[in-house]
A and B are shown apart, each in its own frame.
Chain A
Amino acid sequence: MKPPPFRWSSPGTTAEAVALLAADPRAKVLAGGQSLIPLLNMRLASPPHLVDINRVAELDAVEVTGDGVRVGALVRQAHLERDEAARKVCPLLGDALPLVAHPVIRNRGTVVGSIAHGDPAAELPAVAALLGATVRIASAAGVRDVPADVFFVAPLETALRPGELVTSVWFPAVPPATGTAVVELSRRHGDYALCGVAATVDRETGAARAAYLGVAPVPLVLDLPADDPGGYAAASVDPEADIHATAAYRRHLATVLTRRALAAARDRP
């Protein structure tokens, strides 16, 4: 389990990184590496060229305003998890980040990397989808902002094109009087969830919205009806069976976890 050979570049700026990616459309971006390097070690991926952005200091920034949180491409998950200001503006991040793998993985894994990887079983894409986050993408052609709802295209497939680099993700602030929660069930602590629900509830109107992970090809966002939201969720998800759980069980979890997530979000002080 050793990576195949590849060319390695270590740009110091976003501009350099983008130039390198533009020059070699088959190049892959290396940030935290917590998903990419296992694939390399197993030789399930063999990119000819890795553009290692770990020295692009400008990408290692969290900007918190009253409107939201902008997370740079080099911000480690553990870093954001400990950022009280960001958690305050965007409590869902604080709910979701402790559920991402294990603390040591979060020390290295990046928030943006998890989103760019586009795993429908991961927590952060679901949070991004639920909040209507915006993915900022740089390339030789310039910068574009892509809303999360069109960024996630299929399992492990995003709107990112060859030559592009996600430089940051903007998570809008959770509106006032909105309760949030993330609940999930995984086989072992820290595993990908069999099903997970990230939810927001407007405590004044009762309006509830949830994003589902692990039960659809991309993070699935639902505006939940007041009447039997769990049943609505179960009818809306599209889970697949694997060695860990049947599709029927995952669908059942969507019902149960919806109920629990909404209750937790409502009860949130």
Chain B
Amino acid sequence: MTEEQHHITLHVNGVPRTATVPARRLLSDALRHDLGLTGTHAGCEHGVCGCCTVLLDGEPVRSCLLLAVTAQGAAIRTVEGLAGPDGALHPIQRAFAECHGLQCGFCTPGFLMTTAGLLDRSPAPTDGEIEESMAGNLCRCTGYQNITTSVRRAAELLAAGQGGDPAGPWAGEDPQEPVAEAPLAAGPYAPPPGGGVPGEARR
């Protein structure tokens, strides 16, 4: 009983990564176990908790509800791709630290990527939009109050132009492959022309 394997390439945090997986491998598992990017967490594996949220071609999606083979060729951004190559925290990450938006940290990558998706599409969200966007992710520690505060703060930091290095939020560093090899000029993670704010490139 040998399972058919598929060779896939995923553009993760700007870096092409290849893996050989069976068709049933969930994207969450491919990222975590095949590519070693364990920042994406699996909290329920039925799409409710949101811990596994990543950006797929710029939109937040549940990586536990996506087959890795379906994502073949897609651009994926994970929590590891948020901070700049120098390790400087992304404004969204800074906001969560400032506002005590995390406790155990297990759900946090999902909230960060959901926030990235929200602020990309809506840089100055209303409180209602923030609550609506965050309401698809479960957190058992914080009671959410500091999370929604963090999202508001992140919007402020981004609006204040504290996006950091233009390549920062876009060119995720990969331990195995030099960043220079990443096809930064192509795909939705191409560095915005002059600003490091997520989503600038598309607006």
Chain A directly contacts chain B within the complex, with at least one CB pair under 8 Å:
yes
| Chain B residues within an 8 Å CB radius of A34 | 47, 62, 65
Contact A8 B135 (CB under 8 A): no
Residues of B within 8 A of A103 (CB): 60, 132-133, 136
A252 to B135, CA, bound (A): 28
Are the CB atoms of A52 and B53 closer together than 8 Å?
no
Tell whether A3 is near chain B: CB-to-CB under 8 Å. yes
Stretch at the interface among B66-74, B75-83, B145-153: B66-74
Q: Would you call A104 and B53 a contact (CB within 8 A)? A: yes
Partner of B61, one of A3, A40, A108: A108
B26 at the interface (CB under 8 A from A): yes
B23-A7 in contact (CB<8A)? yes
B59 in contact (CB, < 8 A)? yes
- The answer to whether the Cβ of B119 comes within 8 Å of any Cβ in the partner chain is no
Digitize B15-37: 1 where CB-to-A-CB distance is under 8 Å, 0 elsewhere. Answer: 00000001110100100000000
- Name the A residues within 8 Å of B26 (CB-CB): 2-3, 37, 41
> A107, B59: Cβ atoms under 8 Å?
yes
Q: Does the CB pair A41–B66 fall under 8 Å?
A: no
A38 to B164, CA, bound (A): 39
B165 located at the interface, meaning its Cβ lies under 8 Å from any Cβ of chain A in the complex:
no
Question: Which residues on B sit within 8 Å (CB–CB) of A105?
Answer: 47, 62, 136
A106, B183: Cα distance in complex, Å: 29
Tell me if B4 is interfacial: C-beta within 8 Å of chain A: yes
Residues of A within 8 Å of B, CB-based: how many? 30
A-side contacts of B101, CB under 8 Å: none
- Decide if A162 is an interface residue (CB 8 Å cutoff): no
Q: Is B117 an interface residue (CB 8 A)?
A: yes
Nearest residue (CB) in A for B74 is A54
Residue pair A104, B22 in contact (C-beta under 8 Å): no
Please, how many angstroms separate the alpha-carbon atoms of A38 and B137 in the complex?
Answer: 16
Complex contact A189–B135 (CB within 8 A) = yes
Does chain B have a CB within 8 A of A243? no
Cα A42 to Cα B46 with chains together (Å): 8
CB neighbours of A7 from chain B (8 A) = 4, 23
Counting CB contacts under 8 A, is B181 at the interface?
no
Given the complex, which residues of B lie within 8 Å of A41, measured CB to CB?
Answer: 26, 45-46, 64
Q: A103-B133, A107-B60 are in contact. Are A5 and B24 (CB under 8 A)?
A: yes
Which residue on A lies nearest to B22, using beta carbons? Answer: A5
A window 188-237: CB within 8 A of B: 189-190
For the complex, is B50 an interface residue (Cβ under 8 Å from A)? yes
Which one of B4, B24, B60 lies within 8 Å of A40 (CB-CB)? B24
Are A52 and B47 closer than 8 Å at their CB atoms?
no
Max chain B CB contacts within 10 Å: which of A2, A8, A50? A8
The reply to whether A50 and B23 form a contact with Cβ atoms under 8 Å apart is yes
CB of A6 within 8 A of CB of B136, answer no
CB neighbours of B64 from chain A (8 A)? 37, 41
B40 close to A (CB within 8 Å) = no
How far, in angstroms, from A34 to B23 measured CA to CA in the complex?
17
B100 at the interface (CB under 8 A from A): no
Q: Would you give the 0/1 interface string for A139-169, flagging 1 where the beta carbon is closer than 8 Å to chain B? A: 0000000000000000000000000000000
Pick from B23, B69, B136: contact of A104, CB under 8 Å: B136
In the complex, B114 has a CB within 8 A of chain A: yes
Contact B61 A107 (CB under 8 A): yes
A102 beta carbon closer than 8 Å to chain B: yes
Provide the bound-state CA to CA distance between A96 and B60, in Å. Answer: 21
B35 CB to nearest chain A CB (Å) = 17
CA distance A41 to B72 in the complex (A): 20
Q: Using Cβ atoms and an 8 Å threshold, which residues of chain B touch A5? A: 3, 22-24
Decide yes or no whether B202 CB sits under 8 A from chain A: no
**B6 beta carbon closer than 8 Å to chain A:** yes
Bound-state Cα–Cα, A160 to B97, Å: 51
- A5 to B23 CA separation, bound complex (whole angstroms): 8
Across the A-B interface, give the 3 residue pairs with the lowest CB-CB distance, nearest first: A102-B136, A8-B23, A1-B45
Q: List 30 A-B contacts (CB under 8 A).
A: A1-B46, A2-B24, A4-B24, A5-B24, A6-B23, A8-B23, A10-B70, A30-B67, A33-B70, A34-B47, A37-B66, A50-B23, A52-B67, A102-B50, A102-B136, A103-B133, A103-B136, A104-B50, A104-B60, A104-B114, A104-B117, A104-B137, A105-B62, A105-B136, A107-B56, A107-B61, A108-B61, A108-B65, A189-B132, A190-B136
